[in-house]
Amino acid sequence: MDGHIQKISSSYLDGIQLRFTVGDQLTRWQKLEKGIVTGFTVSVVLFIMGMNLLINAAQRETRGPKTESGIYLPSSRGFMDDLTLTSTTHIRSRWMLTALTDVALWERMEFKTANSRSDHQEGADDR
């Protein structure tokens, strides 16, 4: 990533502090260490950049399934905060998940596996 873009991203999160009210209790100010603050114009851009990095990381690892006409479909698709991965083998799925994990750690993002809706596998061909 370009150094100028990294500096913009770092300065965006630098020094942001939050506090919360729970019942009648007010927390002390806390430094934001991870996440995207809602309400800022640049937040949407940062989120989209992060999702694009994830999608592209998975696409670099493998092609998607091949149609009957011989066209390869994309291996990953994203819509808002939803990501769909498609692979022809178990091994290629692992490659994509490893790439996603590496990029997510670099971006300081987390996968919420409890919110994952499906993991569908067909066949046993791992070639």
Delimit the domains of the chain by residue range: 1-33, 36-115
Distance CA 107, CA 104 (A): 5
Distance CA 66, CA 49 (A): 28
The answer to whether 97 touches 119, Cβ cutoff 8 Å, is no
- Looking at residues 60-87, what average pLDDT do you find? 81
**Residue among 121, 41, 116 nearest 87 (CA):** 121
Distance CA 2, CA 18 (A): 29
Task: Kindly report, residue by residue over 26-70, the tens digit of the pLDDT.
Answer: 888 877 666 666 666 667 777 777 788 888 887 777 777 888 999
Q: Is the pLDDT of residue 125 over 60?
A: no
